[in-house]
Amino acid sequence: MKNILYLFLAALFFSCNSKEKQPQISDNKMPEEIRTDLYGSWVGDFVVAERDTTQPEKERYSNKINIVIKKITETEVTGQSVVAGNNRPLSGTMKRTGNTISFTLKEPGDDKNDGVFTFEIQNDTLLKGTWTANNPKKEVRKRKFELTKKQFKYDPTVMLPDNNMYVDYENPKEEEVTYEEENEGEETKDTTKAETYFENVYRMASESILKINSSTQKLKESDIKNLKKIDLEILRNTIFARHGFSFKTKTVRQFFDDVEWYIPISTNVDDQLTSVEKENIALLKRFEKYAEDNYDSFGR
C-alpha cells in the first residue's frame, strides 16, 4: 500500500513540474512593417509659409530640412526631423486613401520650436506638406516643403560649387559713404555738393575655399596664413558639412544649405572625424583668432 502511495505522489510531482517547465506561448506579435521602400532621408527647403508680420523678419533664406522615415506599420510611424541644428524624434500615423499616402507626425512637444508635420508622398518620389508650430505666438507659425529622397554618404572629396558667391549676408557692417555731385550753373560758387549716407557692406570668401580640401589635405601654416577669417571659417565648417552636421548658426548655414551634396543628418559628428580633419580643425581655429576680413558691398 505504501509503495502505491509513493508512486502516486511521485507521478503527481513529475506532472506538476512538467507543466511549470512548458514554455508560455504569447499572443502578442510585433506589428508588421510596411512600405519599407519609403524609409530613409527626404531632403529639401524648409520655406516660411506663415509668419507674424508684427515682428521684424529674421530669416532671409530657406533652411534645408531632412525628414527621416524609420519605421512604418499599420498603426504607427516613427522618424526624425533634422534642421537648423535641431534633431527631433517624430511619431504619428499613416493613412491611405486610394493611391494617396498621407502622414501626420508630431515632434515631442517639450521644446519651444516643436510642431506637427503633415505631408503626402506623391508617386513615391515627392514628399510634400506643411509644418505647423505648436506655439501660435512664434515668429514663424507655418512652413512648407517639397522633399526628394536622398541617401547620405560621407565623401571627403566633395567641394563647394564654384558657381556660388560666398558672402556673409547675416553679419553686415554699416559703413559711411560720402558722394560728391558736381553742381551746374555759373551763379554757384561751389562746384561740388557732398552727400553722406550709410550702406551695408559684407564679408566675402576668396577662391581659396574652392581649391583647398580640408578633409583630405593635411594643412600647413603656410597654406592658410594669408587667408581671410571667413575663408578659415568656411574651410573648417566644410569638414563638418561633409559628415552631414546640422548647423545651428545662420552664419554657417547660409553657405551650405544651398549646396546639392549637403544633407543634414546629425547634430554631433565628432566621432566620425578623421585624424587629418581633427588636426586641420585645430589649426584653422587657431588662425581664426587672429585673422581679419575686408568688407565690400554686394547685391542680394
Q: Note whether 166 and 149 are within 8 A (CB).
A: no
Mean pLDDT in consecutive groups of 10 residues from the start of the chain, 300 residues = 47 48 58 96 97 75 94 97 98 90 97 96 95 94 98 98 94 84 59 79 97 98 97 98 97 96 98 98 97 85
The Cα-based distances of 68 to 12, 111, 286, 296 in angstroms read 58, 19, 36, 40
Proportion of the chain in helix, strand, coil states, percent, rounded to 5: 25, 35, 40
E runs forming strands in the chain: 40-51, 63-72, 77-83, 86-97, 100-106, 115-122, 126-133, 140-150, 167-182, 192-204, 295-296
How far apart CA 10 and CA 6 sit, in angstroms, is: 6
pLDDT value of residue 194: 74
Give Cβ neighbours of residue 100 (< 8 Å, ≥ 6 apart): 120, 122
H or E element that contains 178: strand 167-182
For CA atoms 137, 140, 145, 147, give the dihedral sign.
negative
pLDDT value of residue 9: 44
| Residue 212: all three cell numbers together | 583647398
Q: Side chain identity at 75, as an amino acid letter?
A: T
**Cα maximum dimension of the chain:** 147
Q: Note whether 195 and 179 are within 8 A (CB).
A: yes
How far apart CA 133 and CA 113 sit, in angstroms, is: 7
Q: How does pLDDT run across 236-257, given as a tens digit for each residue?
A: 999 999 999 999 999 999 999 9
Q: Side chain identity at 27, as an amino acid letter?
A: D
How far apart CA 133 and CA 116 sit, in angstroms, is: 7
The Cα-based distances of 36 to 43, 71, 274 in angstroms read 18, 7, 32
The pTM score is 0.84
